[in-house]
Amino acid sequence: MSDGPLAGLRVLDAATLAAGPLIATWLGEHGADVIKIEQPDGGDPLRQWGAQKDGVGLMWKSVGRNKKSVTLNLRHETGRDLLRRLAREADVVVLNLRPSTLRKWRLDYPSLAAENPRLVMVHVTGYGAGGPKSDRPGFGTLGEAMSGFARLTGSPDGPPTLPSFMLADGVAGLTATYAVMMALYHRDVHGADGQLVDVNLIDPLARLLEQSVLTHDQLGSIPTRTGNRWDISAPRNVYLTKDGHWLAMSGSAPTIAKRALQAVGRPELTEDPRFAEAQQRLRHAPEIDAIMADWIVAHTLDDAMAVFEAAGVAAAPVYDAAQLLADPHMVARDVYPSVPDAQLGAMRVQAPVPRFSATQGGISHLGPALGEHNDEVYGELLGLDADRRRELSEQGVI
């Protein structure tokens, strides 16, 4: 894309798998020129990650949207030199190599900034810089474990539960994306140089789970798993309907909790001291759960939702992917547009979020073939002629 609010911003996505590449994906949705740098022998492992269709990675197609793919062997000194040359022409570079590897390969921030002081570099690692674990390899699973997420997720009598999606990577990527925008604002508005953004896979997710730390620090207790309940509101759970569907409900606001009790035919409980006040409701959450569960299981999903919607209760069906795609609200907002693709024909992917009134993001294409833009980037941006590009290819550099 070239007409978004980030038009003119050049981003080098030299990271692999999820957190780092997601940063570049989100910048690319809003106009940044993103160059995806991949190893020649297979590219980003994300290409082989998850569901495949005819050998094409579906997650890669989405995360690789709006990016130009070039191959570059960073294990080769000539390849690293080409990356340094590309970094001289960039505003942002995203890397997720170990700190010791960055230093050994002279791809660390001081080395790159010496040749391009305006460069903003994002370094994504498992643990972050400055501690004894900084050079250890890390993946989102470890962040989900160490942040406390897994400890709080699951049934009270079951094991800690890990998510079946890239939660820690996604939260880290979102955190780093707004950090990049702050670093660019500092550079461009305040006339400063670029800077290094250090983000790991534990801290951003742990920030969302801070209540458990606050509770331990101030009250000396360690929160435990509560299943689908949450000890700040009641009712709050998922409930089975008569026709075998699941319905989720939240009573976080006192007015909503009272409406829920009224909607299921128990208005007298809104005056009962056990249920009328928030802290008292929490102490009697199992009783509220039983009331809700008994009423909901006697109704179909459609009937229960009709009652709750009419009463202004915060409730929603628990969707699978097919139901999400078919939801009239999602369809009306075109949340999942179908994007043409040379390999897949077309694929529905989620549209950019958030939405803007004047500078809405967009999707120009899905993830490209490996090295599809070698000639464009190396020829036009770095000025390497066809003979030199062919030589580098024969040497395994690109």
Which helix (DSSP H) or strand (DSSP E) does residue 199 occupy? Answer: strand 196-200
Element (H, E) at 317: strand 315-317
Contacts of 100 (CB under 8 A, 6+ apart): 135
Residue with tokens 């360690």: 222
Specify the pTM. 0.93
Q: Is 314 left (phi over 0), alpha (psi -120 to 50) or beta?
A: beta
Measured CA to CA, the distance from residue 19 to residue 7 in angstroms comes to 22
Q: Is 93 helix (H, G, I), strand (E, B) or coil?
A: strand
Report the SS3 class of residue 213: helix
Please tell me the predicted confidence (pLDDT) of residue 253: 80
**What pLDDT score does 1 carry?**
43
Token pair 């009962």 is found at: 272
For tokens 């090295």, the residue is 371
Q: Distance (Å, rounded) from C-alpha 133 to C-alpha 69?
A: 32
One DSSP character per residue, 277-303 reads SHHHHHHTHHHHHHHHHHHHTTS-HHH
35 three-state secondary structure: strand
H helices present in 239-358, as ranges: 254-263, 273-276, 278-283, 285-296, 301-311, 321-326, 328-333
Cβ proximity of 369 and 42 under 8 Å: no
* Topology (CATH) of 10-207+334-394: Rossmann fold (3.40.50)
φ, ψ dihedrals at 388, nearest 5°: -70, -40
Q: Pairing relation of β-strands 33-38 and 10-13? A: parallel
Query: Up-side HSE of residue 339: CA atoms within 13 Å toward CB?
Result: 22
Are 225 and 151 in contact by the 8 Å Cβ rule? The answer is: yes
The pLDDT, as a whole number, for residue 2 is 58
| Catalytic positions | 169
Distance of alpha carbon 206 from alpha carbon 211, whole angstroms = 9
* Amino acid, res. 33: D
The answer to whether the CB of 247 falls within 8 A of the CB of 316 is yes
Which residue in the block uniquely carries the two structure tokens 């911003």? 9
Q: Which CATH number fits domain 236-240+246-317: 1.10.287.10, 3.40.1280.10, 3.30.230.10, 3.30.1540.10?
A: 3.30.1540.10
User: What does the domain layout of the chain look like in residue ranges?
Assistant: 10-207+334-394, 236-240+246-317
Residues in the chain: 398
Summarize pLDDT for 239-256 with one digit per residue, the tens. Answer: 999 999 999 998 878 788
Give the whole-angstrom CA distance, residue 125 versus residue 31.
Answer: 26
Q: What residues of the chain score a pLDDT lower than 50?
A: 1
Count the Cβ atoms, other than its own, within 10 Å of residue 148. Answer: 22
**pLDDT of res. 286:** 87
Q: Distance between CA 353 and CA 279 in Å, rounded?
A: 36
- What is the per-residue pLDDT for 279? 78
CA-wise closest residue to 376 among 6, 90, 71, 94: 71
